[in-house]
Chain A
Amino acid sequence: MEVVKKRAALLSNYEVLTLLRELENDHLTRAKTALKVKKEEVASNLNAGAGKDVRDVEVSENLRTMEVEAIQYFASDIQPAPYQTPEGIRELLRSLGPYNLTKAEKLQIVNIAPQSMPVLWAIIEEMEDRMTVDQMQEIIGLVQNSLTKETREPIQQTSHSVVNIIEDDQDAYGDDEGYMDVVDDAQFDDTGEGAGVEGDLDVDDD
């Protein structure tokens, strides 16, 4: 192993969270596909394709630990990442331009989303010399504007997906014909984001 460049770029918490959620969703979809394949083999008594399936990538235990724990970390109620959107962050950074902040300070404003003066004070060095009280208030206002009010409730969504897998499981055993449809629906729900997912799920389950 060789380190080419230690710190090539800095990532915001939001970017890391998005990446991890993608991996998580990916993993869940794959777990479902694997289940499906297994079921098909059992159903048609075909154990001929004993080799690895094309989609069957082994996911390491360490990566799973990392995914789950980091997503949990971001789910805490003072973490701004679940309330952020790419547009919001871009807009925030654009409007922070005139304040002469360093890159690290801007990154921290995005990561911490300071909503009170003392916290902003801690992030920006020598703030009292660099800007007026009004400007500080403006920054706090900008931060508040960049956050959406409703979260996308990542944890809840994940638990729904797990429930889905289990339910698919039972459906698949009972009825092989309608099986594909069920899976398709479930996959759709899985990747879906935003409010109202919960209600949709209830309807589908009936």
Chain B
Amino acid sequence: MFEISILKDTIPIHPSDFGLPPEQALIAELNKKYANRVLHDVGLCVCTFDITEAGEGKVRYGDGFLWYKVIFRMVVFRPFPSEIILAKVKSVDAEGMRLTLGFFDDVYVPSAYLPSPSTFDISRRQHFWVPPGDEEDPPNLLDVEEDRRMYIEAGDQVRVRVESDEFYDDEPGPPKATEGVTVQAIPRRSPYSIICSMSEQGLGPAAWWPSDDGDEEMDDG
């Protein structure tokens, strides 16, 4: 889930921080710049792990800052594909569900990746899974009687497998004045999103797979 990335940057230290030990000032500055930020193709930065290497602070013409060239290690959130992570269901709609990890909530499970066979119950606005049973399933899953439906509700703790992740760099370009003042509302995409699946044994709400290994034979397919 978490990993260490080695990054290199030039960091200015404000004169009011000259009283601090340089290392402390640099780490504070690095955290200010990177914590809770998504780096393209790297992941979501959590905090500075440590500084590997730092040069002498140099003063440039024009300001009183000390500029340090720093190589440092960053704790980054970036689950690898096929990793299993724990998350919480944030919201549900017919297309799938959105999960949250607390510090990160662009995790999606499209309905194709929900446990199969499953379908969306419009009246409850929740997805449910029908575990394989003795009798043949009716062609329409909504005809299955209530007590065989396993609902996935918002707020459930779920285990999911990471299928893929995507980065978007949506920096606004220079304004184009050719078409007058029409401003097109471009839907904002999140810079980093993860697509997950729960269509496997052992995945889905944690309550489905209790910790004692008593009768987990309910699912053999």
Chain A interface residues (CB < 8 Å from chain B): 1-13, 15-16, 19-20, 23, 51-52, 54, 57-60, 62-63, 65-67, 69-70, 72-73, 76-79, 104, 108, 111-112, 114-123, 137, 140
A1/B8 in contact, CB under 8 A:
yes
Contact A4-B7, Cβ < 8 Å, known A13-B2, A140-B213: yes
Which chain A residue lies CB-closest to B10? A1
State whether B42 touches A3 (Cβ < 8 A): yes
How far does the alpha carbon of A115 sit from the alpha carbon of B202 in the complex, in Å? 11
B211 touches A116 (CB 8 A): yes
B142, CB-defined interface residue at 8 Å: no
Collect the chain A residues with CB atoms within 8 Å of residue B116's CB.
none
Interface positions of B from 34 to 51, Cβ below 8 Å from A: 35-37, 39, 41-42, 46-47, 49
Interface flag for B16 (CB, 8 Å)? yes
Residue-wise interface mask of B (77-92) relative to A, using a CB-CB cutoff of 8 A (1 in contact, 0 not): 0101011101010000
Contact with A along B200-221 (1 / 0, CB 8 A): 1111001001111100100100
Q: Is B125 an interface residue (CB 8 A)?
A: no
In the complex with contacts A4-B6, A63-B36, A57-B25 CB distance below 8 A: yes
Contact indicator B36/A59 (Cβ below 8 Å): no
> Least Cβ distance of B185 to chain A in Å?
27
Closest B residue to A119 by CB, please name it: B202
Q: By the criterion CB–CB under 8 Å, are B3 and A7 in contact?
A: yes
B36: chain A residues at CB < 8 Å are 62-63, 65-66
Residue of B with least CB distance to A122: B202
In angstroms, Cα B42 to Cα A62, docked, is 18
Question: Are A62 and B73 in contact, CB atoms less than 8 angstroms apart?
Answer: no
Measured between beta carbons, the chain B residues less than 8 angstroms from A104 are 80, 82-83
Query: Assuming A3-B5, A122-B203, is B86 touching A20 (CB within 8 A)?
Result: no
CB-based contact A52/B19 at 8 Å: yes
Q: Kindly provide the distance from the CB of B6 to the nearest chain A CB, expressed in whole angstroms.
A: 4
Residues of B within 8 A of A123 (CB): 84, 202
Q: Let me know if B161 is at the binding interface, CB within 8 A.
A: yes
With A1-B7, A108-B84, A122-B161 in contact, is A116–B19 under 8 Å at CB?
Answer: no
Tell me if B31 counts as interface (CB < 8 A to partner A).
yes
Digit string of B1-28 for contact with A (CB within 8 Å is 1, else 0)?
Answer: 1111111110000001101100011001
A5→B3 CA distance, assembly (Å)? 11
**In the complex, are the beta carbons of B47 and A23 less than 8 A apart?**
yes
Q: List 8 A-B contacts (CB under 8 A).
A: A1-B7, A7-B5, A52-B19, A54-B19, A60-B35, A62-B32, A67-B47, A119-B209
With A52-B16, A66-B47 as contacts: A78 and B28 at CB distance below 8 Å: no
- A2 neighbours in B (Cβ, 8 Å): 7-9
Distance of A63 Cα from B42 Cα, bound (Å): 18
**B83 with A58: CB separation less than 8 A:** no
Given contacts A8-B4, A9-B3, A67-B47, contact A54 B20 (CB under 8 A): yes
A11 to chain B, nearest CB (A): 4
Are A11 and B28 in contact, CB atoms less than 8 angstroms apart? Answer: no
**Given the complex, which residues of B lie within 8 Å of A4, measured CB to CB?**
6-8, 71
Judge whether B32 and A63 touch: CB under 8 Å.
Answer: yes
**Assembled-state Cα–Cα distance A25/B212 (Å):** 36
Residue from the list B5, B82, B103, B209 in contact with A73, Cβ < 8 A: B103
- Tell me whether A118 and B46 are in contact in the complex, defined as CB-CB below 8 angstroms, given that A16-B2, A73-B101 are known contacts: no
B34 vs chain A, min Cβ distance (A): 8
Residue contact A62 to B35, C-beta cutoff 8 Å: yes
Point out the residue from B32, B84, B102 that lies within 8 Å of A70, measured CB to CB. B102
Counting from the closest, the 6 A-B pairs by CB-CB distance are A122-B202, A118-B202, A73-B102, A115-B211, A60-B32, A62-B36
